[in-house]
Amino acid sequence: MRVPLSWLREYVDLPATETGRDVQARLVSAGLEVETVEQLGAGLTGPLVVGRVLTIEELTGFKKPIRFCTVDVGRSNGTGEPQEIVCGARNFAVGDKVVVALPGSVLPGDFRIAERKTYGRMSRGMICSADELGMGDLGGSAHGIIVLPPEIEVGTDATELLELYDEVLDIAVTPDRGYCLSMRGVARETATAYRLPLRDPALLDVPAPNSYGYRVRIADPAGCDRFTARTVVGLDPEARSPIWMQRRLQKAGMRPISLAVDITNYVMLELGQPLHAYDRNRLQGPIGVRRAEAGEKFTTLDGVKRVLDAEDLVITDSRGPIGLAGVMGGANTEIADSETDPETGEVRGTTEIVVEAAHFDPVSVARTARRHKLSSEASRRFERGVDPQAAAAAAQRTADLLVLLAGGTAEAGVTEVAAPSAPRTIRMRADHPDRVAGVAYGRETVVRRLQEVGCDVHGQDELLVTAPSWRPDLRAPNDLAEEVIRLEGYENLPSTLPTPPSGRGLTRRRRLHRRVGRALAGADYVEALNYPFLGEAVLDQFGLDADDPRRTVVTLVNPISDEEPALRTTLLPGLLSALRRNVGRGSHDLALFETGLVFRPTGEETAPGVLPVDRRPTDEEIAMLDAALPHQPRRAATVLAGAREQAGWWGGGRPADWADAIESARTIAREAGAELTVRADRHAPWHPGRCAALYATVDGEETLVGHAGELHPRVVKALGLPERSCAMEVELDLLERAGDGALRAPRISTFPVATQDVALVVASDVPAADVERALHEGAGELLESIRLFDVFEGEQIGGGRKSLAYALRFRAPDRTLTVEEASAARDAAVALAGERTGAVLRGA
Amino acid sequence: MSAPNKSYDPVEVEALKPEEIERMRDEALAAFAAAGGLDALHEAKIAHTGPASPLALANREIGALPPHAKAEAGKRVGQARGAVNRSLAARQAELEAERDARVLVEEAVDVTLPYDRTPSGARHPLTTLSERIEDVFTAMGYEVAEGPEAETEWLNFDALNIAADHPARGEHDTFFVRGARRPGGEAAGSGVVLRTHTSPVQVRSMLDREPPLYVICPGRVYRTDDLDATHTPVFHQVELLAVDEGLTMADLKGTLDHMVRALFGGEGMQTRLRPNFFPFTEPSAEMDMVCYVCRGESVGNPDRPCRTCSSEGWIELGGCGMVNPKVLTACGVDPGKYSGFAFGFGIERMLMFRHNVEDMRDMVEGDVRFTRPFGMEI
């Protein structure tokens, strides 16, 4: 809502020194979001006067047509002589009244007007357009010269005439304050903020309804609980909107169109009541209000042909719909633009008007506006609540203005169809606002503040509050409390700190999330947070089988991009595209990680149906809600490319490889307190020979928790990644469950260690993990640790075989081990490894 | 001092003559002094203090002396050996110091060599900032709660007093999840959206258990904005909910003040509430905090303009209010007994003004050059 300060002053006697910024500050603290204060006429100084064009001489020989004019500006130029002005515009004629900027004036943008020679003539001033005067965005009319009504006197100060100096408050009206979509509403808040009286423009003498007004039949009183109609006849089709009205509309952000339309818009801005003017001669039969028939067709004022829904509320005459109630009128009963008959010179146009001021159900209007994607000034107001009691006054005001400005006569008939309604009352303890705010306002203040917003208040300890008709948002005690607290000033609230009972702090899941992030960052990974949107193309590039569960996706109805309409089932596509982006920007040695949710349909989702909000849903209903959702486990992933260690003055570097990827999974598992078992696997998008499946024991069962390794060369190529890029992905929620809770501190033996090294030769395809597990088991409980320190393949041990060298450390908790004891344990370890994996001691 | 020796002729024991012992001593001292290095000194040490050195041999001769002469000769030899040992130690120390000085100089390295063997890792600043905020509240006794990102409309909207036709529901720019395709039919509505705020987590907390309830809900949320310098369709929020007996707006204000002091530090940090509208709170407010850079001193002071707050003195933080009793009712909390307050704000925005991030895209693109400097904590 754009509120010109000059207009606001009509209803509230603000001190003359009060600026727009001052008013802004007051209104902001009262709860209106005044976003900007626009300074109209900033950078504009006169003399700007009204002139009459006396002569026009067309100059030729230039790139564009140029006019040399003489303009009578009266004695405002000091001489009374006609002012000579060169002008490039053409939309004016001899005799027209125009705005002349005389030499010495400055137009917005520091455009200084001076006498100067141009196009071979002396130009002493400028004939102005709306644009040049900084009158704002006025649509088409802004581009030409302003041609004023002929009755305006030559020499009049144009800055006053056009009210060029003003301030406009731009207010973002929240959905609960529909009444502030009117001057009346903003004026009321202003008056309260300044504790000044309000001149309520809706306080008009309105004749009582009678039976001889235009006939109106309401078939749906729930959709339309009030309909007022007034008729004005004998209108002069030539009448134009006065400048003051045009200017107010312009400042409020609306374009002047024609007198009748301008008046309905003006009254809507003033009182907040949307109005519609019908050309009575184009109406047939009584006006009706009903729901549309499904499929019924109707063309709105904007020329769009619409197919109606059975829920749409329509205004009709005997032929069918003439308006989409509360949203937009129809083309068929539109007020005719006046036109002059070229033969007779007679001006034809609308001379009889039926004014509609009605009240429609906010929900119905909202749905229709949304359904037809048609948000209008009217629908915006109805959706947020219009004062039903203002309809009669608005109709009266419209009729008055039509009479005043178009020379018409208001017919005596006054139609008013209104569904009976009782005033809305709210019971509230007088100290309720005190208890909400934590401030002792006292009953007297509470009552006074409620009266200021327009409530009737009765009662002592318990108040019976009747909300004013323009405040449909006031329905509950907290709504009233807010009114009291905001008018008393949010800025005056004290600052106290409640003491929560001791809480559980971070959940285990949240703590794990932090630990994993810190551990991976500590292992030199950089976190990237990627959008979870996914397209099918990347799943194809990953080489996933047709029945891969990662292809079963949750899809969005309205994705940001049609290329990526689904939600991720794996973190890797997003993380790999971040990798590629970094490479593209010149970073080559990269290790990235991400933790986040993936979305896996359960296949059994069912829409939960409509649940009530006036009670807690039952546990069954809550279960229904959860059943509607896909499974959303949290995962962690890493990707690597380039060097893991750089070469430098210290020596050589080392490329990132599959082992780094698997190690990143172990890093995460360690934080979760879980033990990972690694097995070779073939799983897209990984290299079939360099892919590890990762298992952990979850709820007593060995469970696949993820994969790691080097990416398949085809995937690397398809995605445009650096060669030998590696990746890992694990399900964090599973690892959390695999963790074994609180760690038991190990017992530390202080007896000396006995070390035994063994080199075992096995077939090349025997997993080292199997050999190690056998050694571990075979060595028995004296084994403290085992470490593989070398892997060797070569002629010495023969083809198809490899040698694994292990350092075994033995220690007893209660004694120093003898060499014999350590050797016996080693031999037992080697024996079991031999039995399980065919390992033989190297050199044996 | 020695008494005359009647039965012993000292001349026969040449080595024990005083002048002879003096000579041995002086020779040793001269040899030590002449030793130019630790190796030479070692040789001199063996020659003059070793078992075959003249003084050691002389010492051995003492035993052959008659008892009355032993003491005097022993004393003489002992004094000489003491002097020799002291001289040796001194020279040893001197030469070692010389060697140390030389070797340590030779071993010197260029400590200014760079070491970028492994470029360091980092957590995303949105993660660490969110955690920092969580920590402010967990320290007060709040709990952290999380929930699903694909959420039912009832939890995201209805339970929060945003009915299907509420204008606010249309303003949320919601991503809708497509319903499962039924065989031979058009996809049905799923009733599921990507949550537009973390408020459904608050609802879940209330559904889960009885007040008192003090929770903080961080997480990812979604709105259908296109990515540009100031918008992103996927962003992060932290929301807070407190439900207890007798909670007031003053408590809300105090909690907000506490938060900005904890996050931005120092005197003069506080918040300002401005009336606003949200369906899920009543009364509702927009919250601002004092600009942590200029602390309000740039207002009306053209000589000291502040870029962080555009010389407004305040920075917009987010929305807040007292939990609408209708929301409490829908969540099974008795509004006659309990009241609550809630607030929420975007982490991206806070990161932008706290760390002068100029472009939203830097936070979503995962460029390591942006993230790395933020390290582990923020």
Residue B257 in tokens:
């003040």
pLDDT tier at B167 (50, 70, 90 boundaries)?
Answer: low
Cα–Cα–Cα angle for A763, A764, A767, nearest 5°? Answer: 95
Which residues of chain A have a CB within 8 Å of the CB of B131?
514
CB within 8 Å: B283 and A478: yes
Smallest Cβ–Cβ distance between B212 and the set A500, A559, A613 belongs to A500
Which residues of chain B have a CB within 8 Å of the CB of A29?
274
pLDDT value of position A746: 87
- Which residue on chain B is closest to A514 by alpha carbon? B131
- Distance in angstroms (rounded) separating the CA atoms of residues A410 and A412: 6
pLDDT in tens, A435-446: 999 999 999 999
pLDDT tier at A174 (50, 70, 90 boundaries)?
Answer: confident
pLDDT in tens, A793-843: 988 888 899 999 999 999 999 999 999 999 999 999 999 999 999 999 987
User: Which of A567, A613, A644 best probes binding to B when mutated, by most B CB atoms within 10 angstroms?
Assistant: A613
Average pLDDT over residues A697-709: 95
pLDDT in tens, A673-698: 999 999 999 999 999 999 999 999 99
User: Does residue A650 belong to the interface with chain B, where contact is any CB pair within 8 Å?
Assistant: yes
Task: Please state which of the ranges A21-30, A86-95, B18-27, B304-313 shows the lowest mean pLDDT.
Answer: A86-95
Smallest Cβ–Cβ distance between A526 and the set B254, B255, B368 belongs to B368
Average pLDDT over residues A691-711: 96
Q: Phi and psi at residue A60, in whole multiples of 5°?
A: -115, 170
Task: Please state which of the ranges A12-16, A23-27, A576-580, B96-100 shows the lowest mean pLDDT.
Answer: B96-100
Q: Is B253 exposed, middle or buried (0-12, 13-18, 19+ CB in 10 A)?
A: buried
Which residues of chain B have a CB within 8 Å of the CB of A646?
116-119
CB within 8 Å: B250 and A567: no
User: Does residue A644 belong to the interface with chain B, where contact is any CB pair within 8 Å?
Assistant: yes
Interface of B with A in 283-322 (CB under 8 A): 283-286, 322
Between B243 and B178, whose confidence is greater?
B243
pLDDT value of position A719: 96
CB within 8 Å: A383 and B272: no
pLDDT in tens, B214-233: 999 999 999 998 899 889 99
Select from A28, A322, A257, A613 the least CA-distant residue to B158: A613
Average pLDDT over residues A757-774: 94
- Angle at which helices A391-406 and A259-271 pack, to 10 degrees? 140
Smallest Cβ–Cβ distance between B168 and the set A175, A524, A615 belongs to A175
pLDDT tier at B1 (50, 70, 90 boundaries)?
Answer: very low
- Distance in angstroms (rounded) separating the CA atoms of residues A272 and A384: 11
pLDDT in tens, A512-550: 999 999 999 999 999 999 999 999 999 999 999 999 999
Positive or negative, the CA dihedral B25, B26, B27, B30 is: positive
pLDDT value of position B172: 65
Q: Is A523 exposed, middle or buried (0-12, 13-18, 19+ CB in 10 A)?
A: middle
User: Which of B151, B248, B258, B351 best probes binding to A when mutated, by most A CB atoms within 10 angstroms?
Assistant: B248
Parallel/antiparallel/unpaired status of strands A347-348 and A305-307: unpaired
pLDDT tier at B11 (50, 70, 90 boundaries)?
Answer: very low
Q: Label residue A12 left, alpha or beta by phi (over 0 means left) and psi (-120 to 50 means alpha).
A: beta
Interface of B with A in 87-146 (CB under 8 A): 113-124, 126-127, 131, 134, 138, 140-146
**pTM of the entire predicted model:** 0.83
Between A638 and B83, whose confidence is greater?
A638
pLDDT in tens, A194-235: 999 999 999 999 889 998 899 999 999 999 999 999 999 999
pLDDT value of position A103: 80
Average pLDDT over residues A39-61: 81
User: Does residue A28 belong to the interface with chain B, where contact is any CB pair within 8 Å?
Assistant: yes
CB within 8 Å: B369 and A495: no
Query: Is the per-residue pLDDT at B12 higher than 60?
Result: no
Q: What is the DSSP letter of A10?
A: T
Three-state DSSP state, B284: strand
The residue count of chain A comes to: 844
CB within 8 Å: A495 and B254: yes
Query: Is the per-residue pLDDT at B4 higher than 50?
Result: no
pLDDT tier at B180 (50, 70, 90 boundaries)?
Answer: low
Interface of A with B in 59-118 (CB under 8 A): none
Three-state DSSP state, B240: strand
Q: Which amino acids of A are annotated as binding site for Mg(2+), given as ranges? A: 473, 479, 482-483
pLDDT value of position A140: 45
Q: What's the alpha-carbon Rg for chain B, to the nearest Å?
A: 44
Between A433 and B19, whose confidence is greater?
A433
Which residues of chain A have a CB within 8 Å of the CB of B175?
556-559
pLDDT value of position A51: 84
Query: Is the per-residue pLDDT at B51 higher than 90?
Result: no
Average pLDDT over chain A, rounded to an integer: 90
Shortest Cα distance from B198 to chain A (angstroms)?
A: 15
Task: Please state which of the ranges A79-83, A475-479, B280-284, B355-359 shows the lowest mean pLDDT.
Answer: A79-83
The reply to whether omega before B212 is within 30° of 0 (cis) is yes
pLDDT value of position B298: 87
Query: Is the per-residue pLDDT at B266 higher than 80?
Result: no
Query: Is the per-residue pLDDT at A427 higher than 70?
Result: yes
User: Does residue A543 belong to the interface with chain B, where contact is any CB pair within 8 Å?
Assistant: no
Query: Is the per-residue pLDDT at A275 higher than 60?
Result: yes
Q: What is the DSSP letter of A60?
A: -
pLDDT value of position A139: 44
Average pLDDT over residues B261-286: 90
- Distance in angstroms (rounded) separating the CA atoms of residues B164 and A339: 46
User: Does residue B203 belong to the interface with chain A, where contact is any CB pair within 8 Å?
Assistant: no
pLDDT value of position B182: 52
Domains defined along chain A, listed by start: 2-41+167-194 (3.30.56.10), 48-164 (2.40.50.140), 216-418 (3.50.40.10), 424-490 (3.30.56.10), 508-608+618-739 (3.30.930.10), 754-841 (3.30.70.380)
CB within 8 Å: A581 and B365: yes
- Which residue on chain A is closest to B116 by alpha carbon? A646
pLDDT value of position A99: 85
ipTM attached to this prediction: 0.84
pLDDT value of position B8: 52
Average pLDDT over residues B173-184: 74
Cα–Cα–Cα angle for A502, A506, A511, nearest 5°? Answer: 150
pLDDT value of position A618: 93
pLDDT value of position A142: 46
Q: Is B122 exposed, middle or buried (0-12, 13-18, 19+ CB in 10 A)?
A: buried
pLDDT value of position A118: 80
Average pLDDT over residues B22-38: 89
